[in-house]
Amino acid sequence: MDADLNEFINSLKNLMYEGLVESRNGKLYLTEAGRKEREKYNLEIYDIRCSDCEGRGIVEDPFGILKEYKNIASQRPKPTADYDQGYIKEEDVMRRIAFIYERGDLEDAEIIVIGDDDLISLGMALTGLPKRIVVLEIDDRLIKFINENAKKYGLPVEARKFDVRNDIDEDLRRNFDVFITDPVETIEGITLFLSRAASGLKGEGSAGYFGLTHLEASLKKWQEIERRLLSMNFVITDMLRDFNVYPMSNNLELAAEDYIVYREIAKITNNTRIDADFYRSTLIRIEAVGDIKPLVSGSVELKEEIYVDNESLVTAMATRRRK
């Protein structure tokens, strides 16, 4: 069952109200009544995931570059709430690159990346397979870091300053085979990010990759996003569920109170410690089946609805706006 975080929190409150779940020392446990309820339904938990690939179906280092990539990534700038940053596990970056390769979108490809705190641009370039990679990034720290390492390692990567409120540069439009982005998950926000990325693609047959969660995106939101992708002449070809894991210990330089979901759970458990990598996203591949029709063009005003809606519970920017 797919449930967003609002549904999870409401269900947890109901279970506690009914006396089926209790909080002890900041953790949640079934009460005696809860255990009896579970026994009544004869519920069992079976581990069906592959232990060798963590359930991904793709090995973590097919190119033999994970160690080198980790060495580079270990020096990256810390995530900041100013740009709602958060990066996935280095092993998952390698798995994502492996999947892009498997789908025929890496070798001799020209790739545009919108936002790159994951540093997937450097990881892809280390394989020696892409022809050209351009990163469009708002964070000056990351732009400098990517360009310095591209020069140091002789990689075909260029990072440029980019504000998603504006169109991509004219020389980048309709010039790429593939885009990669991890957009915000509001309807208006993801439409904006995907439109900017799509405007860089050459046309029919070009592909795009992005992440989408079930935690901050309800099924109704998924439905609307799919509608908009179809109207842009994209079709979804692949979805790898919970493929990307965001390690909380690495990402959360911010305090737990900066995230709405932790504030809500702390009210129930009296525990604000972050100790579980619960935030995962599905990797989605799309492909153009006709002339690409971005839904947004020209400059737009950066309004709150681009970043924040009532499902934005693990977005620090949302927390700041709701205080």
Domain assignment present for 55? no
Instruction: Answer yes or no: do 25 and 158 share one domain.
Output: no
Domain assignment present for 306? yes
Q: Per this entry, what is the length of the chain?
A: 323
Instruction: Answer yes or no: do 255 and 280 share one domain.
Output: yes
Domain that holds residue 3: 1-46
Instruction: Answer yes or no: do 25 and 168 share one domain.
Output: no
Q: How many domains does the chain have?
A: 2
Domain assignment present for 204? yes
SS (H, E, C) the chain: CCCCHHHHHHHHHHHHHCCCEEEECCEEEECHHHHHHHHHCCCCCCCCCCCCCCCCCCCCCCCCCHHHHHHHHCCCCCCCHHHCCCCCCHHHHHHHHHHHHHCCCCCCCEEEEECCCCCHHHHHHHCCCCCEEEEEECCHHHHHHHHHHHHHHCCCEEEEECCCCCCCCHHHCCCECEEEECCCCCHHHHHHHHHHHHCCECCCCCEEEEEECCCCCCHHHHHHHHHHHHHCCEEEEEEEEEEEECCHHHHCCCCHHHCHHHHHHHHHHCCCCCCCCCCEEEEEEEEECCCCCCCCCCCCCCCHHHHCCCCCCCCHHHHHHHC
Instruction: Answer yes or no: do 93 and 194 share one domain.
Output: yes
Instruction: Answer yes or no: do 93 and 233 share one domain.
Output: yes
Q: How open is the CA angle 102-105-106, to the nearest 5 degrees? A: 85
The whole model's pTM is what? 0.79
Alpha-carbon distance 89 to 249, whole Å? 11
Q: Which pLDDT does position 251 carry in this prediction?
A: 47
Is the Cβ–Cβ distance between 122 and 66 less than 8 Å?
A: no
Instruction: Answer yes or no: do 79 and 120 share one domain.
Output: yes
Q: Give the amino acid at 86.
A: G
Alpha-carbon distance 193 to 225, whole Å? 12
Alpha-carbon distance 198 to 234, whole Å? 10
Domain assignment present for 51? no
Q: Which pLDDT does position 258 carry in this prediction?
A: 52
Instruction: Answer yes or no: do 145 and 22 share one domain.
Output: no
Alpha-carbon distance 175 to 187, whole Å? 26
Domain assignment present for 246? yes
Q: Which pLDDT does position 261 carry in this prediction?
A: 54
Domain assignment present for 98? yes
Series of mean pLDDT values for 10-residue runs along the chain (323 residues): 64 79 77 83 70 77 95 87 73 94 97 95 98 96 97 98 94 97 88 96 97 82 95 97 69 50 59 60 94 95 67 51 43
Instruction: Answer yes or no: do 7 and 85 share one domain.
Output: no
Instruction: Answer yes or no: do 318 and 208 share one domain.
Output: yes
CA end-to-end span of the chain, whole Å? 31
Alpha-carbon distance 205 to 290, whole Å? 8
What count of Cα atoms within 13 Å lies in the side-chain half-sphere of residue 155? 28
Is the Cβ–Cβ distance between 96 and 243 less than 8 Å?
A: yes
Domain assignment present for 56? no
Cα-flanking dihedrals φ and ψ of residue 160, to 5°? -125, 155
Q: How open is the CA angle 281-286-292, to the nearest 5 degrees? A: 135
Instruction: Answer yes or no: do 41 and 66 share one domain.
Output: no
Q: Which pLDDT does position 169 carry in this prediction?
A: 95
CATH number at residue 70: 3.40.50.150
Q: Give the amino acid at 218.
A: S
Instruction: Answer yes or no: do 86 and 154 share one domain.
Output: yes
Domain assignment present for 18? yes
Q: For residue 53, give the nearest of 116, 102, 98, 117 by alpha carbon.
A: 98
Q: Which pLDDT does position 255 carry in this prediction?
A: 47
